[in-house]
Structure 1
Amino acid sequence: MISVDEIMSSTVYTLTPGNCVLEARLLMNEKRIRHIPIIEDARLVGLVSQRDVLAASDSSLHELSERSRLQLEQEHKLREIMSTEVATIDYRDSLKSAALRMRKYRYGCLPVLQSGKLVGIVTDTDFVGIAVHLIEQLEEADSETWGDDFESDNNSLPGTEANIDSVV
């Protein structure tokens, strides 16, 4: 069994409920992340997604100047926009169980806990990385089986269209 701690990101960027929307937006842009766990007294108390930040930044702010928008983003606290019912996963849980939960409930991430303490985060991007790695392994195995000379008429995965170029 592959466990969550084998693929999770252990570097987790967090903020507190008292941080402002501007700080979250800047952190997301700088670190190229889409989810920020919200921590208070060393406990996970919420989660802010890129969607939450965009909604708070964009809602009725289109007509405002950049300066006015920045001021409002500074006044708007994360406690006002964070999700407080956060699904988490234990670091020892299987990767499969994490993937199934994320797919079933359409989660973009699962904060990873060890004894109630945040130790990592697993995201949909982590699973895309795994998928790419598996596809590369399949292609390599196929190449070793058939050799480089063999060209298949159907280079698609089972259940997919063979000629993707013709799909509009």
Structure 2
Amino acid sequence: MQIKNLMSEDLITIDKDQNLSDALKLLRKHNISRLPVTNNKELVGIISERDVANKLGSSKAESMPASRFHVSSVMVKDVIAVPGTMRLGEVADLMLEKGIGSVPIVDDNGMIGIVSKADFTPLANGIIFDKISVKEVMSKEVVAVSSSDRLIHARRQMLDYKVGRVPVIDDDELIGIITSKDLMRAFINFRKNVPEKHQKSQIKEILVEDVMSSNPSSVSKEMSISDVSKIMVETGYNGLPVVENGDVVGIITQTDILRLIAKLES
């Protein structure tokens, strides 16, 4: 299958000179996690929820509201784009190799679409995927935080381990999950509601429990990949903790499913 048959053609873009507040409004309005960035309609970058969370949570950006940043100062500039004729498996391999969540699709006239890991997830359905269990695909190395950890610690963990979500575990029990979207919203609300002169000290007082989603969905390691794919598509979740006898034994994400699809395609 050529990647143009999987891509989303409904392109929502933003100009590099618009401010970060404009990007946030578009992300919320269209319920998307990333935006291609243009300059005179030419693709020059891409900006994601994770990029925003990383920027607003950094010490260098302390006390500055989102409206003070231009999109160009937050976006990833080295964008990898591919032609619509590239094979699905090749694009999956490229995304895994480069550690990227989406790829703009271009032709001679410019950008014609975009494909993300979420677009691959529905493909993990059918007889082959019914026979593959979560335990064969999941990541066993789980990066986790506790509810009493500071939010800036959770951000640091996501940055260091290059993950977009971490389970919240207290006394060996899964009690929540925190994602890049949660971080982004928390930092934005903080800057809106806390006076600038108090932000440097008070940012350290925000705890994971103040931001996390409680009672998160989870899956068992015996569940089929096909069933996990359906859950992700229906809920919009990008990753799910894997629980056995009350213990978190792994996590399965869209990246794990993308890796499986790439392997089968090859």
The bucket for the TM-score relative to the shorter chain is: 0.7 to 0.9
Q: Which AA in structure 1 matches 2:42?
A: R
Cα deviation, residue 63, structure 1: 8.2
Establish whether residue 107 from structure 1 lines up as the match of residue 100 from structure 2: yes
Structure 1 vs Structure 2 CA RMSD:
2.8
Q: How big is the shift at 1:29?
A: 1.4
Residue 133 of structure 2 corresponds to residue 157 of structure 1: yes
In the alignment, the residues of structure 2 paired with residue 101 and residue 93 of structure 1 have an alpha-carbon distance, to the nearest angstrom, of 11
Check if 1:88 corresponds to 2:81: yes
The equivalences for 1:3-14 within 5 A come to 3-14=2-13
Counterpart Cα distance in 1 of 2:75 and 2:30: 19
Which residue is equivalent to 2:42? 43
Task: State how far apart, in whole Å, the 2-side matches of 1:158 and 1:25 are.
Answer: 34
* Partner residue in 2 for 1:32: 31
Per-residue Cα deviation, 1:82-115 (whole angstroms, up to 9, x for no partner): 1111011111111111111111221100011011
Work out the CA distance in 1 between the residues paired with 2:21 and 2:92. Answer: 31
1:37 maps to a residue whose letter is: P
What is the CA-CA distance between 1:42 and the residue it aligns to? Answer: 2.0
TM-score where L is the length of structure 2 = 0.48
In structure 2, the CA distance between the partners of 1:56 and 1:11, relative to structure 1 (3 Å rule), is same
Q: Secondary structure at the match of 1:55?
A: helix
Q: Residues 43 and 116 of structure 1 are in contact (CA less than 8 Å); yes or no, is this contact kept in structure 2?
A: no
Deviation at 1:52, TM superposition (A): 1.4
Counterpart selection for 1:138 from 127, 134, 140: 127
Residue type at the aligned position of 1:138: I
The verdict on how the C-alpha distance between 1:156 and 1:101 changes in structure 2, with shifts beyond 3 A counting, is: closer
Structure with the bigger RCO (C-alpha within 8 Å, sep 6+) is: 1
How far apart are 1:156 and its partner, in Å?
5.4
- How far apart, CA to CA, are the structure 1 residues paired with 2:85 and 2:14? 25
Asked if the contact 1:10/1:120 (under 8 Å) is kept, the reply is yes
The match for 1:123 is: 116
**Partner SS, residue 101 of structure 1:** helix
| SS in structure 1 at match of 2:86 | coil
Are the equivalent residues in 1 in contact too, given 2:56–2:62 (CA < 8 A)? no
Question: Do residues 73 (structure 1) and 66 (structure 2) align?
Answer: yes
User: Is the deviation greater in 117-126 or in 29-38?
Assistant: 29-38
CA distance 1:125–1:119, shift in 2 (3 Å): same
- The letter of the residue matching 2:2 is S
Q: Tell me which residue corresponds to 1:59.
A: 58
Gaps of 5+ in 1: 143-154
Residues 162/46 of structure 1: CA separation in 2 closer, same or farther (3 Å cut): closer
Could you report, residue by residue, the CA deviation over 1:23-62 in whole angstroms, capped at 9, with x for unpaired residues? 1111111111111111112210111111112233333599
TM-score scaled by length of structure 1: 0.74
After superposing on structure 2, the runs of 4+ consecutive aligned residues of structure 1 that deviate more than 6 Å are none
- Unaligned 5+ segments in structure 2 are 137-220, 224-242, 248-266
Q: Please give the secondary structure, in 2, of the residue aligned with 1:127.
A: helix
Aligned partners of 1:37 and 1:48 also within 8 Å = yes
**Relative to 1, partners in 2 of residues 1:97 and 1:165: Cα closer, same or farther, differing over 3 Å?**
same
SS at match of 1:11: coil
Change (3 A) 1:22 1:159: closer
Structure 1 residues 62 and 19: CA distance shift in structure 2, 3 A: closer
